[in-house]
Chains A and B, each alone.
Chain A
Amino acid sequence: MSAEPVLSLQDVTFGYAPGDTLIDIDRFCVAPGESVFLRGASGTGKSTLLGLIGGILVPRSGRISLCGTDLTTLSGAKRDAARVDHLGIIFQQFNLLPYLSVLGNAALPCRFSARRRRRLDMSPDTAARKLVTALGLTDRELDRPVSELSVGQQQRVAVARALIGGPDLIVADEPTSALDHDNRDRFITLLDAQRKRFGSSLLFVSHDATLAGHFDRAVDMAELTGPEKAQAA
């Protein structure tokens, strides 16, 4: 890999209770522009890994770097800032704040990150409008309360929120689990196309191995951490 990785984990261990190690990763990287599929059954520590990457959780040992910044040496507030500066996060479902409009939701990261705001050459609202339109929402849907949108529409607003201001890495945590098969494929294609426009890398976490074909590279959670990693290496 020539360029510096967007995300790199080195010798990271983590457990909620002393003596119990849930995460034990020797090395894991995501290169700029790369899309990585991370497969794992539930209970394998996917959400915990997400918490570590997002800087909410702190590893017991090891290094986690986002775009060259070592999260483990930063204070809590600085990790929060690094998260919004570099990451766009998409959850399974119910991604949106019910009391904000579609555009209010999509522009939310710009309210917390000056860096994301600076990367826009227009107002956050205009950028949000462009993004959700590009993601296939009509003007009529823009004016509706977010709770009245379908799950697929909500997820597209969530994608717009993750992409606004072009973060370095999009982390998607089972974003398609609430979608049916057709919508799922369309959603992934759309997500992949849009994130390429921004040059963002993608880390797609799911238990569904059939999705692996959509991505540059697939990694199994069990090979990354836990007892099986020795055989995989």
Chain B
Amino acid sequence: MSGFTIIRLALRSLWARRMTALLTILSIATAVMLFAAVESIRQGARTSFERTITETDLIVGARSSPINLVLYSVFQIGNPTNNVTWATYEEIAARPDVGWTVPISLGDSHRGYRVVGTTDAYFAHYRYGRSQEIALADGVLFDDLFDVVLGAQVARELDYRVGTTLTLSHGLGATSFVNHDDKPFRVTGVLAPTGTPVDRSLYVSLGAIEAIHMGWQDGTPTPMSRLATPERLRQMRLTPESITAILVGAKSRVQTLRLQRDLNRYASEPLQAVIPGVALSQLWNIVSVVERALAAIAGFVVAVGLIGILTSILTSLNERRREMAILRSVGAKGRHIVALLVSEASLLAMIGAGLGIALLYGGLALFRPLLEARFNMGGIARVPGLYDLGVIAVVTGVAACLGLIPALLALRRSLADGLSVRF
């Protein structure tokens, strides 16, 4: 009696009870799909998170905490503590080991979305995901002082398109009492979705940030500001006194650490330089509690599914006493009875887990365009990997162990029943 024959018997027996077997398989499939999905999306989310900004070697800002700097300069969360002077910016940009710099000026918003004052260099050097560039979905980049470029989500949620005019608000809150409504902006371009905070930002030139604050003092307009009409401002050379942060690309990667050290010890003003990747993974570790909670919940779902297998086999045992007695009568040994029920449990689990993984990757393939565009989840795996095979193996293994319970019960009963077929 080979193991193969036992598995064939188990398959036949399952087929004869295919309705219940199918339901059990479906419950395991759903559980495993959920479990693997949590893991897959967790991995995808982590990769996408850590690839929110790539190829920028350092982010430089006023001294606070590295995470804070990354939060306000990249994620548009929280407030900058202090600014960096324009003189310092120019000095850094001129360093021989610096390849490129992008100035960022924050502090204004539009209906809760933050406005980033920057230069064309931002669009030239900002990279996310696998070195993807920011692309325009519609229109052109800002050219005039009062031009604005919208992130994809801003345009979608507020239903703006090229040509729409809007006004900015002072401050970063969703509602502001101080508005720049005397200086309306015109949308010249809408960016393609990236799945990063870029989608939630509005981009104007550095000069525009200067222009709308012309004649302001300490965050409030003075009567002087009325003199600064758009026409006049267009004639002026608007150079900011200070900016919020700088994105820096080193000439060569190996110089990054030295450059970081130099900037952190900057003599004329207190600066900090942060390697985005390092700060991002520190940041991720803070949110990983949630991720672990999710994984734990998914684990429990799988456990429930496995208990479902156990239940379905245990309930089937009573009506299968006859089957066991017949098998015993034709020479099935005790271990054959055990093997039959253990392989039945394992088969249910294996088929269920396999189906769950297949459903997951089918679903991911179906929703991939959406995941990539909205959540920058290009990093999500396309085909089942070792981890998924591991999940199938572990689920099958645990089911086999659980299958021992009904198996030993059936063995004991078959000994008590002997060779008589009872009801």
Contacts and interface: CB of A to CB of B under 8 A. Distances in A.
Q: Do A and B interact with each other, yes or no? A: yes
Contacts of A57: 415, 418
A111 B421 contact: no
A87 to B, nearest CB: 8
A100 B326 CA distance: 12
A97 B16 CA distance: 10
A91 interface: yes
A77 B418 contact: no
Interface in B1-22: 1, 5, 12-13, 15-16
Interface stretch (B41-49, B66-74, B331-339): B331-339
Nearest to B5: A111
Given A95-B326, A98-B16, A99-B15, A109 B331 contact: yes
- The B interface is mostly helix, strand or loop, or mixed, namely helix
A161 B323 CA distance: 15
A116 to B, nearest CB: 8
A196 B419 CA distance: 24
A50 B418 CA distance: 8
Contacts, number: 81
Interface in A71-124: 76-77, 80-81, 83-85, 89, 91-100, 104, 108-109, 111-113
Contacts of A97: 12-13, 323, 326-327
Contact of A56 (B15, B16, B326, B418): B418
Contacts of B325: 91
Given A51-B419, A56-B419, A89-B419, A94 B334 contact: no
A56 B328 contact: yes
Given A54-B419, A94-B421, A99-B16, A77 B331 contact: no
Given A50-B418, A95-B326, A173-B420, A80 B332 contact: yes
Contacts of B161: none
A112 B330 contact: yes
A194 interface: no
A3 to B, nearest CB: 25
B418 A54 contact: yes
A50 B334 contact: no
B322 interface: yes
A54 B329 contact: yes
B335 A77 contact: yes
How many chain B residues sit at the interface, stated as a range, is: 20 to 34
A100 B12 contact: yes
A98 B420 CA distance: 18
A47 interface: yes
A124 B332 CA distance: 17
A96 B415 CA distance: 20
B334 A76 contact: yes
Interface in A165-185: 173
A111 B1 contact: yes
Interface in B129-169: none
Contacts of A48: 418
A91 B329 contact: yes
Interface in B285-343: 322-323, 325-336
Q: Which 7 A-B pairs have the closest CB atoms?
A: A84-B331, A51-B418, A112-B331, A99-B16, A47-B420, A80-B333, A89-B329
14 contacts: A47-B420, A54-B329, A56-B328, A56-B419, A91-B419, A97-B12, A97-B13, A99-B12, A109-B331, A112-B330, A112-B332, A161-B330, A173-B419, A173-B420
Interface of B: 1, 5, 12-13, 15-16, 322-323, 325-336, 414-415, 418-421
Interface of A: 47-48, 50-51, 54, 56-57, 76-77, 80-81, 83-85, 89, 91-100, 104, 108-109, 111-113, 161, 173
